[in-house]
Structure 1
């Protein structure tokens, strides 16, 4: 599974190989083609709304399926520059359950196109771990799957994903038809989804202080993007397509600080254009035979202080804020993709500062195997918190 390398191999090579400014270059960031469905179009007066306010709601027609209802909820959120953006989440509500617990499940997106978001991709197999929501539904819980990378599908932008996740929960609880306003709330996710989850938990006390959370569970968290970027090599890598996509996603979110397109050669600009609307499988396939050497006009690994600052701003290891919600972190000790020591450092700091933390170590090296091993623990952790049981403290 080195292929999924990438939930945040995130910033890896590309974002940092290509940061020295080239005054002759004029290429600007390339954003995704907007979803043509009018539901996904932000209103002109979006800025008058507060984060978490509902923009619009619709129920999807599932034909003969009657045991769940599926909804799209559009809401106001905020990007990394503090500007208003519109987010969308997909909500699955089990029939016949009164006040079900609500789990915001941050799925693996690993993509650049709007068609790859959970709001569009749950039925086309692009949302790799959508199966992870089956067990919560079977327990009678409602599930929300936010498009947490925002309207520009800014893959790799961790802080953004945390803010969108929090706003999505507030919006879901404000929709009367869903009946979830008094539901206990859990946040869950693995790898890139774990990054969004962990950031949401850490940001909640300051970004969404009135939002009541019951539990958070994040696994395989890419907790130090700078460390990951420094640890990656220059040669070919099976996850290069997603690494390149992460660089493009970060440029979309930080166009003035990471002008990566300006550092691409002609082939690199072609590849950027070729992949800018595509999803995980396409990116993996077409990136497998390419590398940064072929696409970059310049290579200045980690020379640009602003680029390194962006990585640190999106690395949980360097974020001083603390969650107050009971939090489960689980990590493979020998994970070849997301370094164990970075997550262990976060857990140790949380413990020292009195965060109700449970840190579970799995003696596994394969990234996605740890996801399968840890998800049952996460759901049981939620079950206990929803029942009001004391949080086990394990550092």
Structure 2
């Protein structure tokens, strides 16, 4: 019998979330599958998105794109970090890739390229201050690219720094600056990540870039009427493999950070930080046992964790423990651990992945998505 820890990827939920993004935005969709599709498996996720006729895929770098092309993925692929040097252009040509252009050095490289032209996304820094051309730098970059024979089609792009924090003024300011910067230009636009799609409809533009929402996780830290309609794609489960009854005043785990304050029944679960569960998740972090909520007790170990079964007297060795998934959003777990669901997904390792509903697309694409506004 193998170790019971596993991640189950429900591809029907992925299809639902893609349809939901399309319904909300009504624009072209770039499915973001960088970092091995946020830990969900880039190739199977790309296969489903391609099956659903996504307008483009997006990855971080050329290595991720090559993996997809070698697996037979034919959809357009955008390199979100662009290219790092001139040596990547022949590879981009061979694999038919598009790139984000975010600094002058890239434009200089394109000017020297004399072969097939590329589709590019010109990135404007409206407030993220990470990569991209500042508003005052945009006219010069735009002019050079318009005159560059290596550019086939150009889309104007920006990225919001605080779209997942609607109470802040940053996103309206970025939306306004982007509009002002590109005023009078006829190119299509691309601004919204998942939080932008869900909360900032005025910024949807011609293309949107759903990432986290494709995987059914909310980018917001509190309940959101639209994000709450997403379906989790990943469910991580394990089993209880030992049960102990402890008295009062008994320390549990490394560092003895938790001490029982009453007689306590403790379950030991095959899941630890070597599997990707955050070591810094504190006592009290939620898990489900057979669908019922309970809490972690003590520190997360490399291969196991201890949980409270005192109020679940019918629990047995072999019972299922859900670390996140249906009934326990990854966002909630991440909040307890002082991180974000992106990190939970991307850090999963040593956990076998099982895929459900890999070939169920035709019927599902015909089902409309209803958006609740209550």
Q: TM-score, normalised by structure 1?
A: 0.24
Q: Name the structure with the higher helix share.
A: 1
Q: Name the structure with the higher strand share.
A: 2
